Structure formats: structure tokens, C-alpha cells
Amino acid sequence: MLLIGWKSPCKSWQFEHQTECDRYLASQGAVNESLPDAIFPAPYEFIHPTMKFSRLLATSLLVCCMLAPILPRIQAEESSSGPSSRIDPRALELLKRMSKTLGAAKAFTYRSRSVIEVPAKTGQFITLFSSADVALKRPDKLRARLGGEAPHFDFYFDGTTASAFAPGGKVYSVTKTPSTIDTMLPALQQETGIRFPSAPLLFSDPYEVLTRRLISGLVVGPAVVNGAACQHLAFRSPGVNWEIWIGSGQRALPWRLAVTFTDRANFPRTLVEFLSWNLNPWLKNSDFVFRKPAGAREIPFLSVIRPNAR
């Protein structure tokens, strides 16, 4: 589910050319690395290696699962007929049903597996496989555990604090946050550069987030995902083409998500499949509290470079 990445320190309004950005990074002791980013709009950007943990975070949490089609790109594409004429109302209605299902749940858990393409130093795109276990309790509790090919990684939000722990390196980071999931997710991204690809499905109103700046949408047709009858939908947002498979039954749950980054070289793709959902889990508040393991070392969350505008 959760993938965490870091914001690019080079903003488009600060640097006219990428080489100028590179020189700035070098002057700050940063490295231009092709590591994947966590969510739309980009699968990978520049990161600042404030700590060794940053590489682990950017890789492990990024491969997690839900690259949800959301948080809009810089500018929506326009057409003479207007975006709304290219969005099938039936597709929006199915998306709204799914949103109501998730938004109405006071708590839920799910397991997922994902495939993501990330660039190697050779220029080849490498395919990584990952799995995730996610638990949410509204309005202010969230936990995710990542496994698979990516390094194992745990994330906790207890209503006041967000914590990230990498068992392999025995390192963790902690930061104070706003008090609800809806306010924590954007604030955490703004202040630390951490991004949650699954954020749209975690908000209290997923539909409102998912439909921002849509360019087109259609109903592809019926499909079956791991035995679940679904409707296959396809949408376009600025910089991304994304598809979602929503259950046709009484509980309209997402069972598969595919994302293609159309503004990146080689059009890298991500595929997520949800293996199980529980909309009535028994969760304790203590399940979302991070407890420092013996011998673990605290390190700061990766700082986002914020140079003054030129």
C-alpha cells in the first residue's frame, strides 16, 4: 500500500535546465539518483541522501502497493470539447460507489501485491515485486507493513505521530503530524517530502481526490480478478494513464490498479492487486503505536531542500 518517496529538491520554477539543477545539487552535497518516486506525478525524481535510510525508504516504500491515480499533475490537458465530454458518467458512478464503500468503513485492512518498474544505473528498467499489509482506523490511525523484494519496512500513524521503521537496518524516524488521516497525509508530504501512493483510497472521500483534473474516463467492460467479478475502468490524468478494476457486487471494492507514467521515458508501469479486504476488522489503538525495538537507532526524516527562489 504505502509507498514513501522524497520530493525533488529542484523545482521547475527555480532552474531553467537540468544541468543547472545538477550543479545546485552537487553544491549542496546531494546526488542526482534515479530512484523511484512514490506517487503521481512521477515514478522517480531526485532525492537528497541526508541518510542511508533514504535509499531504503525510497525503494522499499515505493514498491509497496497502491499507486493511486490522484494528486494532480501541474496542468490539465485541454481539448476543444472540454474534458467533461470525454468522461463516461458510468465510469464516475462506479468510482463513486467504490468511494462510498471505503469512505463509509470506520476501519479496514487489506493485503496487496504489486509490481513496479524502476530505472537501474544502466538505463534498463528493473521489475520489482512487493507485498503489503495495511490497516486503517478512522479518523486518525494508519499502519502499513511492506515485504517482498523490497527491504521490509513498517509505517505507523497514531493520531499525533508518524513513525517509519526499517527492521533490516534497525533504524527509525519519528515526526509530529496533524491529528487526522485526511490532514496528516498532505502535511507529511509537504513537510518531509514523504508521499503515499495509496493516499486517495485512505481519505474519507476518495472520490473527491480521485476525480481531480480528470481528462478522460471510460468503462472498458466486465472482468474477473482473482475470482472477483469486476468492472474494468480506464482514466487519464495529466502525466498518467490509469486503470482500476472495481468489484461488481454489493461491496464495490478495488481489486486491481494499473498505472502508466506517460510523461517519463519508457513509460514505466505499476500494477497492484488487492488480495483481500476486511471492512470490519478488530483493531486496537495500540496496534498503531510504534514501539522502539531494542538496539534501534533514530535518524531524522529526509529533509527537503528548500532553496530561495532566484
Per residue in 104-158, pLDDT tens?
999 999 999 988 888 888 988 889 898 999 999 999 999 999 888 866 789 999 9
CATH of domain 18-298: 2.50.20.10
Q: List the domain boundaries for the chain.
A: 18-298
CB 271 within 8 A of CB 260: no
What is the rounded average pLDDT of the residues 209-214? 89
Could you tell me which residue, 221 or 47, shows the higher pLDDT?
221
Amino acid type, 244: I
CB 301 within 8 A of CB 192: yes
Q: Which residue has the cell 490539465?
A: 76
Q: Is the pLDDT of residue 287 over 60?
A: yes
Percentage of the chain surpassing pLDDT 70? 67
**Phi (first) and psi of residue 21, to 5 degrees:** -60, -45
Q: Is the pLDDT of residue 212 over 70?
A: yes
* Distance separating alpha carbons of residues 310 and 306, to the nearest angstrom: 12
Q: Strand 125-137 and strand 107-119: pairing?
A: antiparallel
> For residue 116, what pLDDT is reported?
84
C-alpha cell at 194: 514523504
pLDDT tens digits, one per residue of 46-103: 233 333 444 444 444 443 433 333 333 323 333 334 556 699 999 999 999 999 999 9
> For residue 9, what pLDDT is reported?
32
